Chains A and B, each alone.
Chain A
Amino acid sequence: MAKSIGTVDILVDSCKGCELCIPVCPPKVLVMSKAVNAIGFRYPELRDGCTGCELCAEICPDYCFEVFRGRAAEAGEVSA
């Protein structure tokens, strides 16, 4: 079974820093920034290991996440 891999685009300037996305992320790859966005809130930043599970997008009240998902290369398969 191929492993699900993914990533998210985070619309940083829409974020109001509620942190609801942080604990719901299964691989725990979202961490709050030190910097603040244009409206003064800290925002989530993505670390390696996103699976594209969409849970952050499901809980985000500010529609900050766009989620992308695919399957990791099988053993022996050559990735581009």
Chain B
Amino acid sequence: MANELQKVFTRSPLLGTDTHSLCPGCGEPTAIRVLMENVEEMEERENAICVLGIGCYTAFASLMEVDCQQAMHGRAPAQATGVKRVLPDRLVFTLQGDGDMVTEGIQEIIHAAARGEKITAICLNNATFGETGGHMTATSVVGQKSKSTLDGRDPDVHGHPIRLPEMLRDLDGVAYVARGTVHTPVGAKKTKKLLRAALETQRRGLGFSLVEILTMCPTGWFVPTADGPRFQEENILPVFGVGELKRPAEL
């Protein structure tokens, strides 16, 4: 009916009602929002168990209206394995950062992927240690300035960034791999679809699934919040391509 306005967007009830403590312009709350919208729309609230690593996003364990376990830095894929193996009908996903999954915990994620654990691993990749205030991670791009790479990441000294989804793609246990970005509204919408496909891969028992989500960290990039999207496009996206890398035929 004309002029009758319908509410078309509101905060997911699975995100609680409290405010969160993450910095202005952070991409993580957006990534977590589209994740929880998926859980809600898939009607998996009572079936979902989230295992969180250690990073800024860990604070969301207090907001997310699903069962949550907090893991040690880097170990969430192993912990989620323990959960999924004893409760195989639950929807089990990890929430980790690049520092957690790629830097500290690369062994756990590689073995979980190789075992074909029927979990969904979610990496919020902002290419920096945001929580400590901007230090180099294994995904920091060449030339990126941080508090531990003052003149920019130099491959001769600090090595090269790791593209984890591309590394994992060829493992037989891996069913679904994708990378999304949430620095634009369209990117957030597309990322939501990637997460849906990954969770659906798990729900159908097709194998291991992983979505890396590029999230802005203006604090750790040392740029004004409004410049976050520009920094992401100029520095991060050329290194980390967005899209599906592997998708099961059954999906």
Contact = CB atoms under 8 A, between A and B. Distances in A.
A binds B: yes
Interface of A: 2, 5-7, 14, 16-20, 22-24, 41, 52, 54-63, 65-74, 77, 79-80
Nearest to B30: A61
Contacts of B8: 6, 52, 54, 67-69
B189 interface: yes
Interface stretch (B98-106, B201-209, B221-229, B234-242): B221-229
A50 B8 CA distance: 13
Contact of B25 (A5, A18, A57, A70): A18
B25 A61 contact: yes
Residue in A54, A57, A65, A74 with the greatest tally of chain B CB atoms within 10 Å: A57
A55 B185 contact: yes
Q: Which 7 A-B pairs have the closest CB atoms?
A: A58-B185, A67-B9, A16-B24, A18-B25, A18-B225, A18-B24, A68-B5
A17 B24 contact: yes
Given A55-B185, A62-B19, A69-B8, A79 B2 contact: yes
B15 interface: yes
Contact of B184 (A19, A56, A59): A59
Given A59-B185, A66-B9, A69-B8, A19 B225 contact: yes
B5 A69 contact: yes
Interface residues on B, range: 20 to 34
A62 B218 CA distance: 15
A40 B229 CA distance: 24
B194 to A, nearest CB: 15
Contacts of A19: 25, 225-226
B10 interface: yes
Nearest to A77: B2
A17 to B, nearest CB: 6
A52 B33 contact: no
Nearest to B20: A62
Given A20-B225, A72-B2, A54 B26 contact: no
Contacts of B184: 24, 59
26 contacts: A2-B2, A16-B23, A16-B24, A18-B225, A19-B25, A20-B226, A24-B185, A52-B5, A52-B8, A54-B185, A58-B185, A58-B188, A59-B188, A61-B29, A61-B30, A62-B20, A63-B33, A67-B7, A67-B8, A70-B2, A70-B5, A70-B6, A71-B3, A74-B2, A77-B2, A79-B2
